[in-house]
Amino acid sequence: MKNLYNKFVSKGSGRSNQSRTFSKNPSFDKSQRLPKEKPKADPRKAADQPPKGVFTALLPSIQKALTEEGYIQPTPIQEQAIPHILDGRDIIGCAQTGTGKTAAFTLPLLQHIENATEKVSKNPSVLVLAPTRELAAQIGENVEKYSRHLKVRTSIIYGGVNQNPQVKEIKAGIDILIATPGRLLDLISQKFIRLNEIDFLVLDEADRMLDMGFLPDIKKIMKLVPIERQSLFFSATMNTDIGKLARSLVHKPAQVNIEPEKPAVERINQTVYFVEKKDKDTLLKSLITDNKMTKVIVFTQMKHVANKVTERLVKAGIKAAAIHGNKSQAARTKALESFKSTRIRVLVATDIAARGIDVEKISHVVNFDLPNEPETYVHRIGRTARAGHEGEAHSFCSAEERNYLRMIEVLLRKPIPSNTDHPQHSEFAMNATGADAKPGPKKKAPLTKGKKFAKVKGGMRDSNYSKTGIKMHRNSGKRKGVV
């Protein structure tokens, strides 16, 4: 491809925008969008100063938006990735969350679009795939901020909300499509979206996509985009499976690695508490109350555990809300808005919130359950100590999680200091080895001879069923479920 980087440094936009209809997401339902926070002090920001470093390679209109946002100094991944992307090269980028990956691909892609020949088609030329609704919305907000002086049309699509506003926006014509895989394939199957004109493909948080089982969807999408394209692959971790996926999507890529597996722990005060599983709730309530924690994210492994933890905190008089995949988009947005505005002190989350969600000034992260992958621990605690601030991470370790802790410490290359001076301390959990240090096999509900059981929310329940296996409501006669 052409050496676009040198061209863009020396030349502004040569494109005429007279025939382009400018649209700032007219049909986007604002209730679907994550709320914005007021700008806060950031060591990387300095008011009324021109952008520096690789930012000087960007168009004046983009630099103006950066200046207005107060972003002056590029982060390491931006400094390394932006020149390659402007130069037309494919990218494999590996960097921790919170390092500025979004701007690293957003800024040069906006420049590509602005310098492109006037486009007649309404189909998108840029496709950004994100694993979660929250991350898609956040990317969209960043695009909107950086493109405020450009005539670039953007649409954000994800499930859990009415598709009609999204379809209306797509029909009006877009340049950038930011999407979760499921809703994208759904709208493609309804013939609302065509990907035959995609020039730039971005996979953000690719490792999380694989964790969430999106690989089949990604493969389907890859068959619908042109072979001739620029592909940008970003991941917080890079194991064998992720590397294999990356190599299948890119051609002669530039490698951008920002200490991919070295946790940013310098400003995070980490502590582990050995505790029996049944005592975790009591320990959590005492920590939040006694330590006067102001803005806390509590991570659990399971959705139903997140709900229970939230209920117990609220019952104890601690303002809290849960966020996970079973919550509606409206509920998730409301929880995040309340957390950002400090109307609630505690956000209880599964790992859906561990990536990409940038909430400033989180004082504490609590691992109510330890993750079974050590890298996930890094991304969880990375929610605190951002933008130069300090933070604390507290982790609860029961006996069956002892091996998880050992794997985390191997990754960190040092032990996590423990606090044994608390009423819920468990010597058994601290010294667990062998079978005691692993999760036991999942228990199956016993079947009683002569009874039929139905899978229902919350477990197995025996009832009387018709010959067709349909349970009938006693009063209404309506069908309730199929065995």
Q: Give the least confident one: 116-130, 218-232, 272-286, 396-410.
A: 116-130
CA angle in degrees (0–180, nearest 5) for 42-43-44: 90
State mean pLDDT over 432-451. Answer: 65
Q: CA torsion sign, 11 to 12 to 15 to 16? A: negative
Q: By CB neighbour count within 10 A (0-12 exposed, 13-18 middle, 19+ buried), where does 81 fall? A: buried
Class of the 268-437 domain? alpha beta
DSSP states of 256-279 as a string?
EEE-TT----TTEEEEEEEB-GGG
- CATH fold match for the domains 4-258 and 268-437: yes
Q: Cα(473)–Cα(263) distance, rounded to whole angstroms?
A: 54
State mean pLDDT over 293-306. Answer: 93
At 109 the pLDDT is 96
At 156 the pLDDT is 96
Q: Give the least confident one: 107-121, 189-203, 396-410.
A: 107-121
Q: Kind of pairing, strands 453-456 and 459-462? A: antiparallel
State mean pLDDT over 407-418. Answer: 92
Sheet strands side by side (includes 391-397): 268-274, 391-397, 364-367, 296-299, 346-349, 320-323
Q: Cα(452)–Cα(461) distance, rounded to whole angstroms?
A: 9
Quick one: pLDDT band at residue 412, thresholds 50, 70, 90? confident
Q: By CB neighbour count within 10 A (0-12 exposed, 13-18 middle, 19+ buried), where does 316 fall? A: middle
156 close to 144: Cβ distance less than 8 angstroms: no
At 64 the pLDDT is 94
% the chain with pLDDT above 70: 76
User: What is each CA distance from 475 to 39, 61, 453, 462, in whole angstroms?
Assistant: 56, 66, 21, 18
At 186 the pLDDT is 96
> For residue 21, is pLDDT > 60?
no
Q: To the nearest whole number, what is the mean pLDDT of the chain?
A: 81
Domain ranges within the chain, ordered by starting residue:
4-258, 268-437, 453-482
Record the tokens describing residue 294, joined without a space. 């102001």
Supply the pTM of this predicted model: 0.65
At 150 the pLDDT is 94
Q: Which of 233, 61, 72 is closest to 146 using CA atoms?
A: 61
Q: Which residues pair with 298 in a beta bridge?
A: 348, 366
> For residue 366, is pLDDT > 90?
yes
At 55 the pLDDT is 95
Q: For tokens 């507290």, what's the residue?
A: 394
pLDDT per residue as tens digits for the range 384-397: 876 556 789 999 99
CA angle in degrees (0–180, nearest 5) for 181-185-190: 150
- First-to-last CA distance in the chain? 57
Record the tokens describing residue 218, joined without a space. 């990604």
Quick one: pLDDT band at residue 259, thresholds 50, 70, 90? low
Assigned superfamily of 4-258: P-loop containing nucleotide triphosphate hydrolases (3.40.50.300)
